[in-house]
Amino acid sequence: MEKIDKAFTVDFNPYINLSRSHVVSVDLGHSTEGDVNVTVKIRCPCNYSCDYCVSQNIREPLALHSVPRLRAVYDQLDSFAVTFFDCGGSEPTLHPQVRELLELALEFGAAYFPTNNSVSPERWLPRKNLERLVVGAALHPEGEGKVDAFANNLLEIRDGGAHVVVIFVAHPARLSKIKDFDEYFSKLGVEMQPIPFHGYYSGKEYPLSYTEDERKIFEHSLCEGVFPHIWNWAYRLSSDMKIRDFSGIPCIAGFRTIYVDEKQQMRRCLYGLAPLERRHSRSMPCPVRFCGCGLQLDELNTYDDAFWGYWRQLGEGKSRRGDLRLEHEDLYRKNKAKYWAIMERYGKTKQLLADDVKQGKVNFPHVLYEKTNESLLEGLETYSYGNRDVHDILMSRSPGIFFNPSTKNDCLTTPYLDVLPSAKGAGRWLKITLSPAGGGSPGANCTVYLQDEQFSQISRNLLSGETNESNETGALVRYIALPEGLQRLRVVISVWDGSPTYIPNSLKIEQSACSSYANA
């Protein structure tokens, strides 16, 4: 076995050196089409307590699998299976059945196995079919002090015949270490992949709060390897998915992907709790009202595009080489557009708004207000689809009629406006001049802000709080830093908690570009 001091000259790239003689699906007598991804839930203790643990260090009790029943599930699939392990807050190498589970998975196909790599591989590494195993060894903070032992285990796995990659959670507090560790592992011939941290740190939400420079870490390191190019765009897209109700939309869960829980029950996915009698023969409409994933929707299908596609391409003997960095941004944008098109087509954007209504955030804001100087009140009355709440609010403006507390929110939007071409681009600012006029009464509340096409608020409140005579009639000049890629925006007037309610009678919107707030 190679030790770390002898490993510097090893030129190891599992992805281009594999030839057709290694094609496991063919070896197993399966077509490379119709393969299935299996996620096996595995729960046991963990010997680490990472601050950024995705499971927040919540330990579920040890759950033993019935290996014969699990085998029956694989048998029923009758397909080349790529197995993942859903470990929650567990360290799977501590599971007493880990070797059996891995050997079973490798018998039916290939597997990706996550570990903190703190346990000697002698205790868990499968004895056969190791060429079908990819081990994602995560270097966590508690492993950093024992990095030589970590590296020894890594090389032992690799020398056994499995593929290895080092995973490094790019927590903001660890960013400065990435370069050193990257060099360390590259000398061993092992690729290190920083992955985005998901959560809050110093009051910021990640991965959204990574700076442009910090994001480059992922663009350079994630474009190859175990998760070629998917890891980046798919995770970016995932955080954009504001609509999580995919019920009724065709999804590959239950067809191309299967979830097996600790009772060896076959389920569509982590979020679909009903057991499946058998694997679906096609993409079926999702029955889940809230999905934490969404990336398995048939038309997005990240599995075929990425990890699963990687295994498929192995089956075809093709290399995954290519400058995937160039593809990444295009893939992200293409799939983001596709996601919103799917949501629109299946009526989910309407539902998003309806849900907002139920939660009391806003009333239905699809008011077709088409002329900027038209009376907003008139717009409300004419275009609100008989929105009872709107009319109640309008009625509440009449003297002597008290506001009905159950109908205290309303919302009105302008149509989407194209952002000035001269204002587009990073570092640009937009000067917005709002001229509401007339209407309203002192003592009520109205919030005006800008929204992008995904219903995200992209400006602070331009007008907020109690209204008074000056902001009812005077022009409001506000500046917003344009989000990257913003093409269109609209103005939202949200009325809330008012008695009686203020709604401006007219609103004139002007925009002009400037390079900064200071020189605007």
Partner 1 sequence: MHNLLDLTEVNWYVRCLFGIATIKETVEFFDTSLPLSGIPVPFSTRQWEYPWCYSRLIRLGLKASNLVLDVGCGTNPFMTELARRRVHIVGLDLFADDDLRSPRPGWGFNRKLESEYLTFCEANMSNIPYPDDYFDAVYSVSVLEHCDESTRRAGLCEMLRVLKPRGPLVVTEDYIPMPIKPVPGVMKACTRTMDYDFREHIAHAGRPLADPSVKIPSDMEIAQMRDRGELLLNCVVAPSEYYHFTSVGFVVLK
- Interface residue list for partner 1 (CB under 8 A): 247-250, 272, 274, 277-278, 282, 284-287, 289, 298, 345-348, 350-351, 354, 357, 364, 385-389
Question: Tokens standing for 206?
Answer: 């990640």
Token pair 């998975």 is at which residue? 105
For the bound state, the minimum distance from the C-beta of residue 290 to partner 1, rounded and expressed in Å, comes to 12
Residue number with CB closer to partner 1 (177 or 391): 391
Which residue lies nearer to partner 1 by CB, 263 or 388? Answer: 388
Quote the Cα angle for 273-274-278, to 5°. Answer: 125
Which of 116, 104, 106 minimizes the C-alpha distance to 144? 116
- Element of type H or E holding 38: strand 36-41
Distance between CA 282 and CA 297 in Å, rounded? 12
Of the two residues 272 and 309, which places its CB atom closer to partner 1 in the complex?
A: 272
When the beta carbons of 69 and 345 are compared against partner 1, the nearer one is: 345
CB atoms within 10 A of CB 122: 9
Q: Is the CB of residue 265 less than 8 Å from the CB of residue 275?
A: yes
Which CB sits closer to partner 1, 249 or 448?
Answer: 249
Pairing of strands 417-418, 284-285: unpaired
Q: By C-beta, is 84 or 364 nearer to partner 1?
A: 364
Residue 447 has phi, psi (to 5 degrees) of -120, 135
CB of 381 to partner 1, least distance (A): 15
Minimum gap (Å) between residue 404 Cβ and partner 1: 15
Backbone angles phi, psi at 75, to 5 degrees: -60, -40
Question: Least distance from C-beta 218 to partner 1, angstroms?
Answer: 33
Q: Are 269 and 295 in contact (CB under 8 A)?
A: no
Strands 409-413 and 488-496 come out as antiparallel
Please state the φ and ψ torsions of residue 154, each to the nearest 5 degrees. Answer: -60, -50
Shortest Cβ 491–partner 1 spacing (Å)? 22
In whole angstroms, the minimum distance from the beta carbon of 266 to partner 1 comes to 13
Least separation in angstroms between residue 385's CB and partner 1 is 4
Shorter beta-carbon distance to partner 1: residue 73 or 135: 73
Degrees to nearest 5, angle at CA 46 with 43 and 49: 135
